[in-house]
Structure 1
């Protein structure tokens, strides 16, 4: 089979490579970002360029630790190797955290290593780094996380810590490029405009029906909805998060090319489509919305009527490609 990739994909690969191999050239790194239209860091912001695997090989760290960090990188960029055991959709960690988890404005993962343990409103208790990674498997991967303390969980945590090398724990400065910063929400968002924009700008990679592109056992482009996508509990179902991701990163290789209105319209359309049930589902969508709306679903379309046809989103018991709803890692922590 001969694969043909669009110019945007090729440009995207070159863009990530330029940042990944920027090394310690902070000025060059920031110049690349600002020339693309990203904001320059404010004077009080913490700027960190995560080290690369090349830096790892040149470091004086123990060979066994290097091996574990490389394993973490391998799992992060090819999480599909855990498909059927821990992953039950077509996502990799790097599907959302672009550039091997290093990209600013694409939720770089190194801040988790220096800000956790910390309180998280989503589950209303203090979370460890492993628990935060477990959440990604539970919601974004629609799966079951590797066991706490297991080889795979250790490797993933080690990779996060490697990317944060040199950063002070619990930094007091705001972190430059953290998360998926959303553009200002327009007065109105449109399902119809979003649908048309998706057809024009997104379907070439992610499929006409949001199925993504998978060749043999490799996910080339993730599915933005359906059974092979993230479930209703994933952070990306928040329309603001999706708008921030789209605005700052899509189409691939053309970051910041969409207007703020277009980013919100596409995100609204994409998150108006069905996907596997929230693992916290109580058996009733209205009850689940009432329980988790104040802390999470107030930013999503879960439990709301879709404007195109009146369908109540999330009103089903479909768990996607897995035969369970909630892994045992979704539990409260009380310290009692």
Structure 2
């Protein structure tokens, strides 16, 4: 069984957001008519390997290091991290939880063509992107000890998965479009009700003894505008399946869309691919209704970015 602190760290990323004092959050619309789409957990389909099965050799040391990097990224991969997040924030239970982009569902799917890069990427290149965007840092060089250890950890968990076949529970669930367009004020109310307890009224998370226990959801310590969680369809799938932590599938579909919209309607660090203007960067990388980059919400144009921490 994994140490109890893993469960505490798993807590991170209840992707929903709102500042309790923001005037736009007043008079939220009621939750009526919001449908609930069950999310298949597939909990019995995959059993993560027990720690006792980790090899007691040099390869096992790499697997262990990969798990440590996953759970305490800023400590074990400090040179490549630029915010207060860890890998586990977006891939819960140390990358083992179904419907939370688990590593056993990702490793067997690479190499793969990715529309984001317009080329075939290896798994190591995919990990590089996580550091550059989700961690708002810089990509470790190919062959770096950090990437090798993370690959070893993912490989160890994925040995019984089929190559090139997306298993149930991989990635984040895809929800149907909501009955009503996502709304900032309704999302603010959902955040205040279900998310602020962990992530704070201002969405900046909580720390204990200098370590992030609940992650910031926007602002300079969060993921940047190039991260996959910036897309509403990704954020809503994660929220619906996993949040509030330990009570996934509790929110209605409408609630999940609204709170994902609210979270992503706040400023965060600039997209590293910035092309000199928000308009040009949106045209090149964010030209989708699922992105709020370059969109004006409540009179504020998003995408200017925050200062790098």
Q: Which of the five TM-score ranges fits, normalised by the shorter chain?
A: 0.7 to 0.9
2:85 and 2:221 in contact (8 A); partners too: yes
Instruction: Give the structure 1 partner of residue 135 of structure 2.
Output: 141
* 2:108 maps to 1:98: no
- Deviation larger for 130-139 or 144-153: 144-153
Of 224, 238, 241, the residue aligned with 1:245 is 238
Of 136, 147, 150, the residue aligned with 1:153 is 147
**CA offset digits 1:239-293 (Å, max 9, x no partner):** 1111111111011111111111101110000000000000110110000111113
Of 280, 287, 294, the residue aligned with 1:287 is 280
Give the total of aligned pairs. 275
Q: Distance in 1 between matches of 2:146 and 2:177?
A: 39
Of 312, 315, 320, the residue aligned with 2:304 is 315
Look up the SS of the partner of 1:85 in the other structure.
helix
Q: Distance in 1 between matches of 2:221 and 2:201?
A: 14
Instruction: Give the structure 2 partner of residue 167 of structure 1.
Output: 161
5 Å-filtered alignment, 1:61-80, equals 61=55, 63-80=57-74
* 2:169 maps to 1:177: yes
Look up the SS of the partner of 1:200 in the other structure.
helix
Instruction: Give the structure 2 partner of residue 39 of structure 1.
Output: 40
1:53 and 1:70 in contact (8 A); partners too: no
- Per-residue deviation, 1:84: 5.0
Q: Distance in 1 between matches of 2:106 and 2:206?
A: 29
Instruction: Give the structure 2 partner of residue 305 of structure 1.
Output: 296
> Please, what TM-score do these two structures have when normalized by structure 2?
0.84
Instruction: Give the structure 1 partner of residue 203 of structure 2.
Output: 210
- Per-residue deviation, 1:121: 0.5
> Please, what TM-score do these two structures have when normalized by structure 1?
0.77
Query: Structure 1 residues 50, 157: closer, same or farther in 2, change over 3 A?
Result: same
Gaps of 5+ in 1: 1-9, 17-36, 322-336
2:267 and 2:304 in contact (8 A); partners too: no
Instruction: Give the structure 2 partner of residue 20 of structure 1.
Output: none
* 2:282 maps to 1:276: no
Gaps of 5+ in 2: 11-37
Look up the SS of the partner of 1:209 in the other structure.
coil
Over the aligned positions, Cα root-mean-square deviation in angstroms equals: 2.1
Q: Distance in 2 between matches of 1:144 and 1:293?
A: 21
1:80 and 1:218 in contact (8 A); partners too: no
Q: Distance in 1 between matches of 2:276 and 2:126?
A: 25
Structure index of larger Rg: 1
Look up the SS of the partner of 2:213 in the other structure.
strand
